[in-house]
Homo-oligomer: A and B are copies of this chain.
Amino acid sequence: MNLAQPIEILRPERLLFGTGLVGEVGAYARAQGFTRILVVADAFNAGRVRLLDLPGSPSVFGTVKPEPDIPNLEALLAMAAATQPELVIGYGGGSAMDLAKLAAVLPGSGQTIHDVVGPEKVLRRGAKLVQVPTTAGTGSEAGTRSLVTDPASQNKLAVQSRFMLADLAVIDPDLTMTVPPAVTAATGVDAMAHCAEAFTSKKSQPLIDLYALEGIRLVGRFLPRAVRDGSDSEARAGLALASLYGGYCLGPVNTTAGHAVAYPLGTRHHIPHGHACALIFPHVLAFNAPVAAEKTGLILDALGLSAAADIFAQSHRFCADLGIEMRLGALGVPESDFARMADEASAIRRLLDNNPRDISRDQILAMYRAAA
């Protein structure tokens, strides 16, 4: 792939990374003189808003749900309409940060969520936006995308807009120390899957491959450590960085079949996104290997695995050894639903079309069966 191919890179202008920096959010708000502040958080992080060290009495929307849906978004937008924030802060995992993006652009714009689905439909930014991730998985703090589930269709609506890019991202890895081992494992593999899928995408970019490989290396090195000991500050930092690099991969390149095949696990069976992606990861890695041999070898090497051994067995064991439940049956997904899941997944062309190897509905179905 030629280095000279055009690419647009959008990044938060300012990014703070490191242990103990969470209070810088308040310093930013003070420096800008903001008084109307809206924090978008799940219930857990709503209980520790004080760590942000915000001035005055910020409004807190503390009911972000996992895999947030349109009603969840609309409740947030109602609060934003009432409080008219100058500053919106996403404080949580991908769900909170994704909703915060929409709360920074939709209120007062005359646009609804349905008007902005797709690339660059958003007309303007209403408020400043700060993102504070508390999990290491989505990398949403660095990106321009927001995913909301439509309860009518069970589909993920993907909004992408340069107006949803954060003004400031504050990544304090210590915020992730409370994440339990199982979630640490699943979200860590999700971050790595962002990197691995972008790295092997038909749309892969040499400028992005740098982050992809480094993100995979960081997960290979630090995820087992963080799962073993959640208070390992350096391991938490390594995973927070891997998550950020995964986010860098999503912008100009994005994921491929791994995420498409994983989505129905979330939309139809409410398996958390990270877990769904981790469960599917080895299946897609092995499926793509024949047409992406060199890059698959680099992924295995970066994970500390051997490119010479069985690709599926090794990458599956990497996930299972982290304590991730890799069987759909054990997660309550009945085989009777596999056909409909395969129908749904195979319709996600925006991701599947960039998979290095063509993948049919029946091949997706075979993956679910292999993971039964």
List the interface of chain A (C-beta within 8 A of B).
Answer: 2-21, 162, 165, 173-174, 207, 210, 214, 233-234, 236-238, 241
Contacts and interface: CB of A to CB of B under 8 A. Distances in A.
Contacts of A237: 2-4
A234 B214 CA distance: 23
Nearest to A5: B18
Given A2-B234, A16-B6, A19-B6, A241 B207 contact: yes
Given A13-B165, A165-B13, A207-B241, A20 B6 contact: yes
B210 A3 contact: no
Contact of A15 (B5, B8, B234): B8
A237 to B, nearest CB: 4
Nearest to A1: B234
Contacts of A233: 2, 4
A206 to B, nearest CB: 8
A356 to B, nearest CB: 22
Contact of A234 (B4, B13, B174): B4
Given A4-B233, A6-B17, 6 more contacts: A3-B241, A4-B234, A4-B236, A5-B18, A7-B16, A13-B165
A11 B8 contact: no
Given A207-B241, A210-B214, A214-B210, A15 B4 contact: no
Contacts of A241: 3, 207
B11 A13 contact: yes
A173 B14 CA distance: 26
A10 B241 CA distance: 16
Q: Identify the 8 closest CB pairs spanning chains A and B, nearest first.
A: A6-B18, A4-B237, A3-B237, A4-B19, A9-B15, A13-B13, A11-B11, A4-B233
Nearest to A18: B6
16 contacts: A2-B234, A3-B234, A3-B238, A4-B18, A4-B19, A4-B174, A5-B18, A5-B19, A6-B17, A6-B21, A7-B17, A10-B15, A11-B12, A11-B14, A12-B13, A17-B207
Nearest to A211: B210
Contact of A210 (B4, B5, B210): B210
Contacts of A234: 2-4
Given A210-B210, A214-B210, A241-B207, A9 B4 contact: no
Contacts of A236: 4
